[in-house]
Structures are given as structure tokens and as C-alpha cells.
Structure 1
Amino acid sequence: MAEYYDAIIVGAGPAGSTLARSLQKRGQNVLVIDKQSFPRDKTCAGWVTPAVLDSLGIDAKDYRQGRTFQPITKFRIGMMGQAPVDNDHGNQPVSYGIRRCEFDHYLLERAAVDKALGTPVKQIERDGASWLINDRWRTPLLVGAGGHFCPVASQLGEGPGGHETVVAAKEVEFEMTPEQAESCEAQGERPELWFCRDLKGYAWVFRKGQYLNIGLGREDNHRLKDHLQAFVDEMKRQGRIPAELPGRFKGHAYLLYDHAERPLVDDGVLLIGDAAGLAYTQSGEGIRPAIESALLAADVISHARDTSAESLAPYGEQISARFGHRAMEGSGINLQLPDWVKTTVASGLMRSHWFTKRVVTEKWFLHQDVPTLKKAV
């Protein structure tokens, strides 16, 4: 006979582990399933804002014990092919560099729930009012938290491969040798963001102590490798990154919030984090939206009278209230400007200290204008 759980969460990343912990503290019996064993490598530039730490109730002094925790007080912003702008945000950190292998494992360990790690989801069946997973576990509520390719997403529509605009990214993170660390021009307290000239993506160089993360993401994967190689070559030429990079660049994909079309709930099923397509549209940052979606979902689930789509509908309403209504095709501002005009305007803005600091960094990447979400976790 299949083992019963009040909720089964597919995906043990920040969204899944946060929801699991929140539901467990509310007295629910929860199972988390992930195809990978933890700790595991996760492709991500890797930084979290103070708002994320506050929402999760993380003590920074405790977290930094034995883990990478790089305070960020500055940013270097530029458009490829022109000089960058350096901005100082003061003495207090505006963000922190983390390694996802450490951060995700830390959050998962805090969740005192049953876990089936290193276990792919091979079978999802609707059996009356419940779901049967791998012919082994049964639940009335199935939550998709497994990223863009989460198998639960297919239960709510087309899933991966639909008509949505997908951001494709490639990056590498490695521990530098003492010689590389000494000669590397990148500074830990000042991540570097370099926007593509066609405005379809950006690259980064992010140092976290002895670790270095380099990557590039674009709204489509057209010539992604070419864009990445050109960026890496230029950074090497400037001495900003080591001449020899170990290992291969790893890829991942995700949806931007305004461009995602996935429904969030249906009878007995709900999506959170990247599985729901919640990454911030301007920056592609997904950790804070993942955490907040999990906290909102936990609140709705705990107050729902059952797991029907009608009872879970407030989750979608709260997501819209928190992140805004998704842009529909044909809506919004479309200036219909030629690409060269857009590039010229952007090129000038990327030379502005005010714009790169107040808009690009503080609004688009740090979301300092958005109050911290406080929910029980």
C-alpha cells in the first residue's frame, strides 16, 4: 500500500525546502522528492539579499560558519564594448554571495520532513482525489518545485517546450588556485554585470572569496555559446578572470515572470519557484521569488478547506498581488523603435551612475523598493 502524505513536494531547492519547513511547522506530514542527492551542484550566480535572510529567519553569523558568505557593497555595471560604471552602496551589505550547493543544503536540512533524495519522479498518476507518485506515495496535494523542467508542471498544461520565452544561461563556478586568486582583478564585494548590446541578456563575473562564478544568460539560446565565448575572451584579455578555466560551462533554463504562461494551481496541484516561472523579469533573479512563493503557498494551503483549485486559487491572487499581473501578449508599452535607437539609448543610460545604481542595481536586481515578506517559516 502506498504511503500517505498531506503534501508531496517535487524539488528540494529553496522553494521546495521552504514550503516543506513551513507546512511541517503547521503540523502537516510532508515528503520532499528530488532526483539529486544533496549537497549538489546548482547552476546559479548565487547571491541573496538581506530580504531573503529576513524572510527565512536566517542568522547571518550562524550561516557564515564554514560556508561562503561574501558581503556585497558595490556593483560594476556596463554594456559590452564600453567602459563600465562603478557604484558604491555604502558600508552595509546590500546582498551576499553564496554557493548554491551550501545554501540549498542548509535550507533542506532545516526542514524536518521525510525526504526521498536521489529519486527521480518517474510516474505521476491521478487516482480519484489523490495523486500516486512512483506507485509508492500518495497525497491529495502535489507541489511542483523542481525548476523549469519540473515534471509536475506538465500536469498544468504544456510544461517545458511550450510557447513561452525561455532564458538560457551558461556558467561555471570554481575554486581558484592561490596564484589565480592573487592575480584575479575581480573583487568579491563588487560583482560585475555586463549587458549584451542587443539588450537580450547579460553576463557576470562574481567573486566569492576563493570561488569565482562566470556566466551569461539570454532570452533565447541563439548563438549563446558565441556570446559567452566572446565575453570570456574579453574578460581574460582585461585580466579580470584567470586565463585557464577548469571544467565546462553548465547550462540551465528558466522563465521570466512577465513572459511565463503556466497556470499556478489546479485541483490538487500547485507550482512554486522556477517551476511556476517566477524569476524577476528585469534581472532573471529567482531565489527571492522562489522563497516568497513558498511562503505564500504555505499560508494558502494551511487555510484552504480542501485541495480543490477553488480552494487554492488565493495563491495565484497573492502571487499577482506580490509580483504584479503578468504581461499579456500585445499589452504594455511597445515603442516600436529600431534596434539601433534602443541600443543607443541603453548605451547612454549604462554610462549613468544614477541609472546604474538606482534603477539597474537597487530596483532591478536588489528590489530594495519591495518590502520584506514576513510569513511563518
Structure 2
Amino acid sequence: MIQAEVIIVGGGPAGATCAWELKKHGIDVLIVDKQPFPRPKLCAGWITPRVMADLELTPQDYPHRILTYRSIVFHFKGVPVPVSTCQYSIRRFEFDDFLLKRADVPVLTHQVQNIRQSGGQYIIDDKFRCTWLVGAGGTHCPVYKSLFARIHPRNPKQCIATAEEEFAWHCKDRQCRLWFFDKGLPGYAWYVPKQKGYLNIGIGGKLSALKKRGQNINAHWLDFVEKLSRKGLVCGRRFSPRGHIYYLRGETKNIRNKNAFLIGDAAGLATCDMGEGIGPAVESGKIAARSIAAGQPFCLAPIARWSLPQILAGPWIAKKTHL
């Protein structure tokens, strides 16, 4: 049986950041993920100056594609509203692999099925044993299912359904654009260029509101790509979108169960206005690591609930942190 002081289930930004912080404290840590890295990941790939500062990175330090936005165009009922900011886009395929390698801890490919407690430790599929367990496996994290589903039920009104696609594309318009509430969508759509010829487009909305209106995300997707074609942003492409669900920020009670923790999307921390998840994932990973390594309180309440203040403060944060 493989043993470590801490096992993290999930190697995305939350898990990799937690491992990176634990390693700095000299803690024996192992990451288990169901997929090998680098791996495809559906995500707009938007990161803030706060994320870069938390990761102790500058755009110059990052060795892969990173594009800086000095403005984002918000569209409300056809009216464009440019907002000055400083934000970044990355490809998750590269970003997650970079963070995982930087953590410099063992990473094993294994799909977790069963978690039980024995003698004050956690036993995973009779293959792994640990004293501390961190659930960083996203919405469908097995740590959540095994140890938290009863004590931390998710609010269905906070569930977001998405359809999105990332692909190689020469963007004539390299401006990040967001469209809110088109045709009654309880959410927004995005157009996010990436550096060196990639583009992510997507659409997301509250699943409960869609169901109440007798709608589904796919119909809104068709309207969205028709809009992109009409505006000359993406023309002549046969789309193959994929979907997933995640949860906006709700209660942060009961996300520690003895020596087990939830972080990132496993804890449901995406911001309430923009559904931004990378920032809360990184911050929660650091908080969990410091709780394990130094006995600090595991409290995620201070993590920001809203993205808009970070967008507006982007230039100030970037200047303050020399980004």
C-alpha cells in the first residue's frame, strides 16, 4: 500500500497549488488524478492579477501562452461597454501541467472509487493510505461524494450548466468579449482569444432557471454561434461543444470533516457574478495547505465571492504586484 502524510485527489489548480504550498513546508504529499497530465480541460482560462500574485508568478515567468487584456468588452442587450482592466488568458492544457510540475511532488494516475477511515487514517481503494486527505477533484470529486455529500449538500439553484469549445483560430478580433442575458439566458457567453492562435468560446447559465423556463443550454449555444458568425468573429466552422456543470459560491460551512478538506470546485467556490473558479481554487489550496502544515484555521469565507471588483481593480493589483 502506498502511504503519504497528505494525499490530494485532483491535480488541477487547486490540488497543484495545495501540493506546492505543502512541499514548501516539507510535508510528504502525493497527488492522485484519474487522468494523466497534460490533459484537455474545458475552461475559458481567465486568470486575474490576484491569481498570479498568489502563485508568485509574473507573465514573464510563465513559459507558455499567456495573453494580457487591458480591457474587456461587456455587452448588455446589444450595447458594448468597454471596461479598462488588466487580466490574462491561458490554455488550461498548459497551465495545469505547469503548476503540477512546479509542485514537484509524486503524481499517480488512478480513478478513486472508495474511501474509508481506519485507525485515524484514510484508505483509498485499499491502495493508498494517508493522515490528511484533500478533495480537489472538481464538481464530481470522490472525496466530496464519500465524506461530504451528507454534511455539505449542494444548492441546485447555484448549479451552472455550460457548453464551450477551444480550438485553433486566427482571431481578427483579439478583444475579450462577454454577452449578458441574451434572449433571456440566465448567465452569459464569452469570446476569449488566447495567445498564438487559439480561441475559447462558451456559454453558461443557471441550470434551475433554464429548466424552469423549459430551455436548455444547447439552444442558447446555437443562438450564440450564429451571433459570432453574423458579427464575423467565427465563420465557417463546424462546432463540437462539450458541456459540464459546476457550482457558484454558496455556504462554506462543513467543508472540513476531521482531517479531510474540500477545495476549488469540489467545495463550490466559483464567483457569484462571473463563475470564475481558478482564483478561488488557488486561494483555497493555499489555505488548506497552511491549515495542515501550520495548524492555521481552515476558513474559506474570506475568498472573494465576486469577480467584478477584481476586474475593476486589475490595473492597480498588477501595478502593486509588478505584473
Measured in 2, the distance between the counterparts of 1:156 and 1:239 equals 47
Give 2:237's aligned residue: 244
Give 2:255's aligned residue: 264
Measured in 2, the distance between the counterparts of 1:77 and 1:100 equals 23
Pick the aligned partner of 1:226 from 219, 222, 225: 219
How far off is 1:170 after superposition? 1.1
Give 1:76's aligned residue: 73
8 Å contact 1:145–1:275 — kept in the other structure?
yes
8 Å contact 2:75–2:179 — kept in the other structure?
yes
Q: How many residues align?
A: 308
How far off is 1:57 after superposition? 1.2
Q: Deviations over 1:53-98 (max 9, x none)?
A: 11111242131x4x21111111111124x23223344xxxx11110
Give 1:133's aligned residue: 124
Give 2:165's aligned residue: 172
Measured in 2, the distance between the counterparts of 1:137 and 1:34 equals 13
Measured in 1, the distance between the counterparts of 2:155 and 2:73 equals 34
Measured in 2, the distance between the counterparts of 1:323 and 1:59 equals 21
8 Å contact 1:144–1:275 — kept in the other structure?
yes
How far off is 1:365 after superposition? 4.6
Pick the aligned partner of 2:188 from 202, 218, 233: 202
Secondary structure, aligned partner of 2:301: helix
Amino acid at match of 2:40: D
| 1:107 and 2:99 correspond | yes
Amino acid at match of 2:199: L
Pick the aligned partner of 2:302 from 311, 321, 324: 321
8 Å contact 1:363–1:369 — kept in the other structure?
no
How far off is 1:364 after superposition? 6.1
Counterparts in 2 of 1:159 and 1:17: CA distance versus 1, 3 Å: farther
Counterparts in 2 of 1:21 and 1:226: CA distance versus 1, 3 Å: same
How far off is 1:219 after superposition? 1.1
Measured in 2, the distance between the counterparts of 1:30 and 1:174 equals 35
Give 1:13's aligned residue: 12
How far off is 1:278 after superposition? 0.7
Secondary structure, aligned partner of 1:321: coil
| 1:85 and 2:81 correspond | yes
Measured in 1, the distance between the counterparts of 2:19 and 2:34 equals 17
Q: Deviations over 1:238-273 (max 9, x none)?
A: 111122145x11112111113x57721011210011
Q: Deviations over 1:281-338 (max 9, x none)?
A: 111001011101111111111123xxxxxxx8x212xx113447xxxxxxxxxxxxxx
Structure 2 unmatched runs, 5+: 319-323
Percent identical among aligned pairs is 36
Give 1:53's aligned residue: 52
Aligned pairs for 1:13-52 within 5 A: 13-52=12-51
Measured in 2, the distance between the counterparts of 1:323 and 1:14 equals 17
Measured in 2, the distance between the counterparts of 1:134 and 1:48 equals 35
Q: Relative to total residues, which structure has the larger strand share, 1 or 2?
A: 2
Q: RMSD of the alignment, in Å?
A: 2.4
